[in-house]
Structure 1
Amino acid sequence: MDNRFNHKTGQYMLKFSPRNYLGEEDFMVAACNETAYRAVKIWPYWQHFSLCVYGPRSCGKSHLAHIWVDRIQKSLPRPIPIPILPAHRVNMKNINKLANENDFLVIEDMDTEINEEAFFHLYNFYNIPGKYVLFTAEQPLAKLPLRLPDLKSRLNIVPCIEIMQPDDEMLTALIAKLFNDRQIIISQEILDYILKHTERSFEFVSRLIAEIDDISWTNGRAVSVPIIREALKNLTRNQQMELFI
């Protein structure tokens, strides 16, 4: 939490760091993610030892991974550490240790460059009763540009469930949640304005709310339509600049 004195109002303004609520009760189930949510929830009755949840950035893949981990913890006599690792950290130096010490594993961001030999061994290590892996990615594993045929053939049979871009109902709930995470109260007018003018993507909405919060805090002003316009303009300009990087 940060604070700043507003000389116009004679009051201190408090800025709360956004909190990540990753419990199952915090996950917003909608048409775009219901299939993925139910697929995670039916563990341990998966038909395969692994599952991949894929979709656009900021769509809730990591949230589902934490729900899965929590579900496992509640099924065990005592809690155990369950690693949640980015895919690029899996290599030939740590694969044996990972597999020997962990019956459950979450591997995120499979779209990044991976050590294919290590993942070939990981697949074989976990393809036995009682061991499970949850993958996350932005695309199905079958579309990864893999060079190792044996790994590609194995990942092609991993069930992959998509989280799609949000509809208006989901966007409305997401906008309200992101402001609530920052302990910012907004009016229905503000919510409707954002919904009307924002891009229809999880990532853009997340960046927009962060930009609105930063502008509001920097200028010592409550969230308003002019601030939203400024935030939208900033993000649009940043996106255009990224095209030339």
Structure 2
Amino acid sequence: MARQLGFDLPSRTALGRDAFFVAPSNAMALAMIDRWPDWSGGKLALTGPTGAGKTHLAHVWATQARARIVQATALPGADVPALASGPLAVEDVPDIAQDSDAQTALFHLHNLVLAEGHSLLLTGTPAVKHWGLTLPDLASRMRGTTAVALEAPDDMLLTALLAKLLADRQLTPKADLIPYLLSRMDRSFAAAIDLVRRLDAASLAQKKPLTRHLAAQVLDKPPAGG
């Protein structure tokens, strides 16, 4: 059902396996997630552009493996033995590149999770060698982790991503809207996420349905800070 105009309903992000659209750019990463019991050394690093689906795949894996998910920035002061008591996903590892306490916690957590015989998933945007970790022992362990990358999207994947993002925000576009957006938007995951956010905000602010005319206004207005 289309959303009623004028009510700022919460975005509901679908993170289940059935909401993950498989395309050539992400098929290898999904295959590695599905083969998690066979990960070399019990761990995997998942990389790729912002919005590429790393968090989505982390949730898919967490459901399969009955794993916990924790942000790397939340590790200082965390109960490492408790976190290491089962499979674990640590998101956005590069975010702790300047945090020695978080790196130390991740080093101990990495060792304990694997020592307990559990699996460890780590995510980050750039390739692992560019995560910028300054703790030598941790950096060495990360470089020794099998990695798989989510690649830049093709038209098919961008179409599916836009449809999913709009559905997450309970927006029902007309059939011609997504092809129109694809022809004019920056072709990246991050751009798609930002564009849908701005379309949603404009629809609410103007109390108008999501149309090509409204989309043209949004596309012609530079993003905040841009």
TM-score, scaled relative to structure 2:
0.88
Aligned to 2:94, the other structure's residue is in SS state coil
Aligned twin of 2:156: 169
Aligned twin of 1:178: 165
User: How many angstroms does 1:219 deviate by?
Assistant: 1.3
User: How many angstroms does 1:51 deviate by?
Assistant: 0.6
Alignment CA distance shift 1:63-1:93 (3 Å): closer
Bigger Cα Rg:
1
Task: Say yes or no: does 1:106 pair with 2:89.
Answer: yes
User: How many angstroms does 1:94 deviate by?
Assistant: 2.7
Q: How does 1:1-245 map to 2 (within 5 A)?
A: 16-73=9-66, 82-91=67-76, 94-99=79-84, 102-113=85-96, 114=99, 115-128=102-115, 130-234=117-221, 236-240=222-226
User: How many angstroms does 1:184 deviate by?
Assistant: 2.4
Identity score, percent: 30
Whole-Å separation in 2 of the counterparts to 1:163 and 1:223: 30
Q: Which runs of 5+ in 1 are unaligned?
A: 5-12, 74-81, 241-245
Q: Which runs of 5+ in 2 are unaligned?
A: none
Aligned to 1:136, the other structure's residue is in SS state strand
TM-score, scaled relative to structure 1:
0.82
Alignment CA distance shift 1:142-1:237 (3 Å): closer
Whole-Å separation in 1 of the counterparts to 2:48 and 2:151: 6
Whole-Å separation in 1 of the counterparts to 2:77 and 2:86: 18
Whole-Å separation in 2 of the counterparts to 1:201 and 1:22: 20
User: How many angstroms does 1:33 deviate by?
Assistant: 0.8
Whole-Å separation in 1 of the counterparts to 2:184 and 2:83: 46
User: How many angstroms does 1:176 deviate by?
Assistant: 1.6
Structure 1 range deviating more: 220-229 or 178-187 = 178-187
Aligned to 2:41, the other structure's residue is in SS state coil
Whole-Å separation in 2 of the counterparts to 1:129 and 1:178: 38
User: How many angstroms does 1:111 deviate by?
Assistant: 1.2
Alignment CA distance shift 1:147-1:179 (3 Å): closer
Aligned to 1:154, the other structure's residue is in SS state helix
Whole-Å separation in 1 of the counterparts to 2:152 and 2:163: 17
Whole-Å separation in 1 of the counterparts to 2:146 and 2:130: 13
| 1:60-84, Cα deviation, whole Å (9 max, x unpaired) | 11111111111123xxxxxxxx431
| Aligned-residue RMSD, C-alpha | 2.2
Greater relative contact order structure (CA < 8 Å, 6+ sep): 2
User: How many angstroms does 1:37 deviate by?
Assistant: 0.6
Aligned residues: 221
Whole-Å separation in 1 of the counterparts to 2:82 and 2:116: 18
